[in-house]
């Protein structure tokens, strides 16, 4: 573990130094206000932030965006493209969704779309290999049957199967219920998927973008500095933040913030192979007030791990999925297949590590473009561009 101290004029600037030096996986250990010892600046307040990063954590892949072209649109290209790769051309069909991508016009046109097509083809071939051979009155030679099962599926069959998966996807954006009392949500999931950062993004979206009254609660007493990290985000956004170490503390905090529109609970991450963790969460959430659970999953998870995560958290009656780290992979075929099989709606999407910019409410059009055409086409989606412009205005 590497621990380092930073000084800056305010907390926001100090956090920027932490991100630049240690990355977004760093945790905040402490913060305090100092007095500058420089000559002529003895009364100038400074903020000291002590942060740490664990070298054993999985590194995050971040590709810096290219500078905007002269005379070009400010947000008309993806936020994360290699510096030597120009922005892709605008989609010819305008809005691209599952309905717009049919087998007739789905021959991949870009390298990324071709790679996605190959991945879906591999999944379809594996799916066929798992099926028992059809009964026939003519006994075929074993080699012929084996070759038939190993045969590469036709491109039109792959496109049709992929479109069927996309059509099964559900998008249900996170929204307030507008009833008596606040909407209470809890972010659950394994370690390392970005629950704390996602909690901050959701809080910023509703407090700044929709002018809602938001409170943050933390149940993460396992990870060093996790509560301080959430408190730092809360201080920047001027939102109340409570730490709950016992079920009765959670019930008391929920009662205290009944005047809020939204309460976000950040939970501790544990291994998806630990069923006791889910039983513990169920005990905490039985505090008498309705708590909607949202499962946070990483787009970089392997197929087997993702299936285990979905199975482990099923007893919590998950309301929706929040998919993070979409910018850290381009292999979306497995993710699409697993989400479609889960029958759970996608509520939120995290497209990067910045708080609060890299956050989007889920939409069927965006998912259809992402899983059908790839990352670059999805980031060019007209809804996404409009949403970013509205967010940053």
pLDDT computed for residue 21 by the predictor: 84
Give the closest residue to 352 by CA, choosing from 327, 388, 370.
327
| DSSP 8-state symbol, 153 | P
Residue 319: inside a domain: yes
The CATH number of residue 381's host domain is 3.40.50.300
Q: Are residues 371 and 226 in the same domain?
A: yes
Q: What is the pLDDT of residue 71?
A: 41
CA separation for the pair 327, 335 (Å, rounded): 13
What CA–CA distance (Å, rounded) separates 33 from 245?
Answer: 27
Rounded to 5°, the CA angle 271-274-275 comes to 135
In-domain check, residue 214: yes
Nearest partner of 124 among 153, 163, 103, 144, judged by Cα: 153
pLDDT at 297 over 80: yes
Closest CA to 227 of 199, 263, 196, 190: 196
281-289 contacts at long range (C-beta below 8 A, 24 or more positions apart): 281/186, 281/188, 281/316, 282/315, 282/316, 283/247, 284/219, 284/247, 284/250, 285/186, 285/316, 286/247, 287/247, 287/250, 287/251, 287/254, 288/251, 289/181, 289/184, 289/251, 289/254
What are φ and ψ of residue 292, in 5° steps? -90, 125
Q: For residue 61, is pLDDT > 50?
A: no
**Inside any domain, residue 246:** yes
Which is more confident, 115 or 1? 115
The pLDDT of residue 227 is 74
Query: Looking at the structure, do residues 204 and 350 belong to the same domain, yes or no?
Result: yes
pLDDT reading at 29 higher than 80: no
Is 288 within a domain? yes
Contacting residues for 30 by C-beta, under 8 A, at least 6 apart = 48, 49, 50, 228
Residue 116, domain member (yes or no): no
Q: Provide the 8-state DSSP code for 171.
A: B
> Is 231 inside any structural domain?
yes
pLDDT of residue 287: 66
Which helix H or strand E contains 293, and what residues bound it? strand 292-298
In 198-226, which positions are buried (b, 16+ CB within 10 angstroms) versus exposed (e)?
bbbbbbbbbbeeeebebbbbbbbeeeebb
Flag whether pLDDT at 69 surpasses 80.
Answer: no
> Residue 41 pLDDT > 60, yes or no?
no
The chain-wide mean pLDDT, for the chain, equals 76
Greatest CA separation found in the chain? 96
CB of 83 closer than 8 Å to CB of 77: no
Count of domains observed in the chain: 2
Q: What are the φ/ψ torsions at residue 135 (nearest 5 degrees)?
A: -70, 140
Domain coverage including residue 21: 2-53
| Cα dihedral sign, 363-366-371-375 | negative
Which pLDDT band holds residue 181 (cuts at 50, 70, 90)? confident
Is 377 within the bounds of a domain?
yes
Is 176 within the bounds of a domain? Answer: no
Q: pTM higher than 0.85, yes or no?
A: no
| Residue 276 phi, psi dihedral angles, 5° rounding | -65, -30
Q: Rounded to the nearest 5 degrees, what angle is found at the Cα of 33, between the Cα atoms of 29 and 36?
A: 125
């Amino acid at each position: 573990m590497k621990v380092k101290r930073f000084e800056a004029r305010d907390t926001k600037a100090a956090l920027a130094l932490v991100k630049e030096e240690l990355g977004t996986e760093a945790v905040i250990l402490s913060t305090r206000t100092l007095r500058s010892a420089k000559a002529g600046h003895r009364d100038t307040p400074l903020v000291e932030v002590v942060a740490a990063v664990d070298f054993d954590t999985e590194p995050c892949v971040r590709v810096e965006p290219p500078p905007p072209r002269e005379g070009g649109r400010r947000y008309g290209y993806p936020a994360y493209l290699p510096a030597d790769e120009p922005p892709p051309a605008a989609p010819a069909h305008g809005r691209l969704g599952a309905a717009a991508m049919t087998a007739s016009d789905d021959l991949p046109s870009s390298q990324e779309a071709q790679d996605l097509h190959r991945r879906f083809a591999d999944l379809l071939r594996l799916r066929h290999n798992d099926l028992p051979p059809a009964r026939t009155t003519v006994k075929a030679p074993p080699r012929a049957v084996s070759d038939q099962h190993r045969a590469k599926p036709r491109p039109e069959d792959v496109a049709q199967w992929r479109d069927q998966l996309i059509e099964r996807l559900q998008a249900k954006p996170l929204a307030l219920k507008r009833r008596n009392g606040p909407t209470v949500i809890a972010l659950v999931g394994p370690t390392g998927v970005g629950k704390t950062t996602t909690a901050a993004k959701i809080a910023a979206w509703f407090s700044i973008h929709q002018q809602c009254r938001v409170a943050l609660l933390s149940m993460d007493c396992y990870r060093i500095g996790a509560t301080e990290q959430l408190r730092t985000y809360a201080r920047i956004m001027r939102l109340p933040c409570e730490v709950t170490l016992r079920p009765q503390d959670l019930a008391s905090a929920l009662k205290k913030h009944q005047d809020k529109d939204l309460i976000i609970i950040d939970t501790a991450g544990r291994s998806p192979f630990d069923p006791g963790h889910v039983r513990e969460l169920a005990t905490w959430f039985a505090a008498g007030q309705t708590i909607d659970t949202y499962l946070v999953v990483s787009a970089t998870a392997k197929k087997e791990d993702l299936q285990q995560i979905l199975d482990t958290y099923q007893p919590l009656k998950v309301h929706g999925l929040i998919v993070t780290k979409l910018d850290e992979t381009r292999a979306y075929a497995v993710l699409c297949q697993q989400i479609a099989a889960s029958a759970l709606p996608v509520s939120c999407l995290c497209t990067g590590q910045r708080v609060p910019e890299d956050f989007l409410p889920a939409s069927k059009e965006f998912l259809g473009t992402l899983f059908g055409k790839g990352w670059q086409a999805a980031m060019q989606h007209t809804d996404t561009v409009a949403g970013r412009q509205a967010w940053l205005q």
